[in-house]
Amino acid sequence: MVRQPTVTHVPAGCRRVELVVILGLLTAFAPLSIDMYLPAFPTLTTALETDGTTVQLSLASFFIAFAAGQVLFGPLSDRFGRRAPLFGSLLLYAVASIGCALAQSIEALIVLRLLQGFGACAGGVISRAVVRDLFERDEAARIFSALILVMGAAPIFAPLLGGKLLIWADWRAIFWFLSGVGLVCLAAVIWRMPETQKVEHIQSLQPGRIVRTYVRLLCDVRFVAYALIGALSLGGLFAYVAGSPFVFIDLFGLAPDDYAVLFGLSALGFVTAAQFNGRLIPRFGPARLLSAGTTVYVLGSAVLVLVTTTGWGGVPGFVVPVVVAISALGLMLPNTSAMALAHFPQVAGSASALLGCLQFTFAAIATVLMGAIQAESAVPVASMIAGGAVLAAAVRWGVAKE
């Protein structure tokens, strides 16, 4: 296979490592905003006098806003550049996080989480667009793998920190902390992040042009196929995110701190696999690594369904296959992102937005479904993960052929 030429120019005044760290932090808003307060689910149920299903709606509302908001921020970043939209979105995130910390009812928390998700979504959209501005497909896949090293630290440490804050203070401290993170990232963007959009790629904000751009993307089989693989995989991942507090804390009877450690194992596997992906791309290319990751994802989720339906193995029997399945996403998500965006440099913001919207729409659907299921075992969680894996594999080998 002939390799594409690689663009490795990083704007003057910003080192490559520094840029990766900033983009990784911006991409980490979603896992940080989600994973950090997962250990607080049982506490929120008591403190706000509600039930577990309603508390999970605060997770779903974040997903809905995070997915829908990307469709707006993509065209905005194609018109006004990558930096300006981030200023407003990060400020909104910080203010909404303060509102969550002050919420007196579950209804208020759900609405404020909606606003928080809207503020958080620009980080992921614009980070992917910046990578596409600067790098071609194979190098972009390596950069996405590097971003996961930064982004992936959030699922590892966020539940641990959330659990500690619950011991030292209460659930409100989690949102005060998130507000501080938003303000720190805003400062980093203002003083250290360069503008990367090329002048010749500036697009208008005419509604007709925006609609035509999205229609063109949705009619491109390559884009849709790789976006769907990522979306289906992410749907399975967030079914696990939404269902894991019930499985580990309620079903297995673990303490929030123990749950955070076990949850962090899967995040560590995900990050480690992504780093291997970055190193292996020059030798194997993103397409072959995507196929390998899809195979492992299917096998891991199949074993997970087996052990949950038979009840074999207890906590280790659940943890081992779920870590294998989630780790496989480290070989899938960087490559699906790079391959979906490879052919759209002129509308990188819009393409990144549609990619993220599809991914987090599936994540929201999976979260809502997990909240609606009155589970009495780990089977529904395992089945959702396996369903995403099988459908992703069907798209990979049925449509997205290279």
CA distance 331 to 256: 29
* Domain membership flag for residue 249: yes
Count CB atoms within 10 A of the CB of residue 286.
28
* Domain membership flag for residue 173: yes
* Domain membership flag for residue 8: no
* Domain membership flag for residue 4: no
Question: Which pLDDT value is given to residue 337?
Answer: 86
3-state secondary structure of 193: coil
In this structure, what CATH number is given to the domain that contains residue 249? 1.20.1250.20
CA distance 163 to 175: 13
The residues, any chain, with a CB within 8 Å of residue 233's CB and separated by 6 or more, are 297, 329, 332, 333, 336, 388, 389, 392
Question: Which pLDDT value is given to residue 2?
Answer: 35
Cα–Cα distances in angstroms (integers) from residue 38 to residues 33, 65, 111, 139, in the given order: 9, 18, 18, 34
* Domain membership flag for residue 5: no
* Domain membership flag for residue 140: yes
Question: In a structure prediction context, what are the per-residue pLDDT tens digits for the chain, which is 402 residues long?
Answer: 333 433 445 554 457 778 888 888 888 888 788 888 878 888 888 888 888 778 888 988 897 888 888 888 888 888 888 898 999 999 999 999 999 999 999 999 999 999 999 999 898 888 888 888 888 777 888 888 878 777 666 766 777 788 888 888 889 999 999 999 999 999 999 988 888 877 766 776 778 888 898 899 999 999 999 999 999 998 888 888 878 888 888 888 888 778 878 888 888 898 899 889 888 998 999 999 999 999 999 999 999 999 999 888 889 999 999 999 999 999 999 899 888 888 887 777 888 888 888 887 887 788 778 877 766 788 889 999 999 999 999 999 887 566
Q: Which range of residues forms the domain containing residue 327?
A: 16-398
Question: Which pLDDT value is given to residue 16?
Answer: 75
Q: How many domains does the chain have?
A: 1
CA distance 236 to 355: 16
Cα distance between the two ends of the chain: 10
* Domain membership flag for residue 2: no
CA distance 365 to 398: 23
Question: Which pLDDT value is given to residue 375?
Answer: 65
* Domain membership flag for residue 371: yes
Q: Which of 7, 308, 290 is nearest to 139 (CA)?
A: 7
Q: Which of 279, 28, 347, 22 is nearest to 141 (CA)?
A: 279
Question: Which pLDDT value is given to residue 290?
Answer: 95
